[in-house]
Amino acid sequence: MAVDLQNRLERGKSSTSRSSLAEASSDGSTYSSLNSFELEIIHIFVQTAQVLGLPKSVGEIFGLLYCSLEPLTFDEIMLRLKISKGSTSQGLRFLRNIRAVKTTYMAGDRKDHFVAELRLRNLSAGFLRERIMPHLENGEERLNNLQQILDHSPPEKRKILKERMSYLFTWNKKARGLLPWVLKFIDT
């Protein structure tokens, strides 16, 4: 099982078969490899990231934080997931932008400590706000421009095309009206 998960998550990386949830490191490195619980949670978020059109690394980072009992530092995230500094930095930035991750300050430590937003409602809100709303708003703007173009088209077509456009307008408006409602519904 663990091997299977390992393979799915990190294709082609050397993986020491790890059967249990032990956190000891067998290769002498400071950071433990991922246990099967973590691998599975991470996998779920990686898949979700892909459905949403986000980079895998974003899913990995969020998944790791989601099942961590304490805040993790930049280095811990980077080393445990075996991803680069750049991916870690950009992934964390994205996650902070959509409020999926926040930082906590730990006394006497200069490093940032990252925590996942566990209330998925807030997570969804951030995603909808940062990604979906802009798209819908841009669409509305474009539709407005379109109406002008349409005024120059042959009258016999104009009526039908106007109708089609009005469907799009309606749909756009409804989709935007839907978002707050969706958020309320999944308010976990």
Q: Which residues of this protein are in contact with its own copies, per CB under 8 A?
A: 1, 15, 18, 20-21, 36-37, 40-41, 43-44, 47-48, 50-53, 66-67, 69, 118-120, 131-132, 135, 138-139, 142-143, 145-146, 148-150, 152-154, 157, 160-161, 164, 167-168, 170-171, 174-175, 178, 181-182, 185-186, 188
Q: How far is the CB of 89 from DNA (least distance, A)?
A: 4
Residue 125 touches which of DNA, its own copies, none (Cβ within 5-8 Å per kind): none
74 is a contact residue toward DNA (CB under 7 A): yes
User: CA angle, corner 83, sides to 11 and 100, nearest 5?
Assistant: 105
Give CA–CA dist 182/178, Å, rounded.
6
Residue 111 touches which of its own copies, DNA, none (Cβ within 5-8 Å per kind): DNA
Residue 104 touches which of DNA, its own copies, none (Cβ within 5-8 Å per kind): none
Q: Quick one: 27 or 156, whose CB is closer to its own copies?
A: 156
Please tell me the chain's helix, strand, coil percentages from 3-state DSSP, rounded to the nearest 5: 65, 5, 30
Residue 91 touches which of DNA, its own copies, none (Cβ within 5-8 Å per kind): DNA
- Match 């708003």 to its residue by tokens: 137
Q: Quick one: 84 or 144, whose CB is closer to its own copies?
A: 144
Instruction: Residue 162: name the closest of 138, 174, 146, 178 by CA.
Output: 146
Q: How far is the CB of 38 from DNA (least distance, A)?
A: 17
Count the helices and strands in the chain (H runs, E runs).
8, 3
User: CA angle, corner 67, sides to 22 and 80, nearest 5?
Assistant: 60
C-alpha 75: how far from its chain's center? 20
Options 87-95, 128-136, 139-147, 150-158: segment touching DNA (CB under 7 A):
87-95
Q: Quick one: 54 or 125, whose CB is closer to DNA?
A: 54
Residue 41 touches which of its own copies, DNA, none (Cβ within 5-8 Å per kind): its own copies
Burial class (CB within 10 angstroms; exposed 0-12, middle 13-18, buried 19+) of 78: buried
Instruction: Measure CA of the first residue to CA of the last residue in the chain; give whole Å.
Output: 31
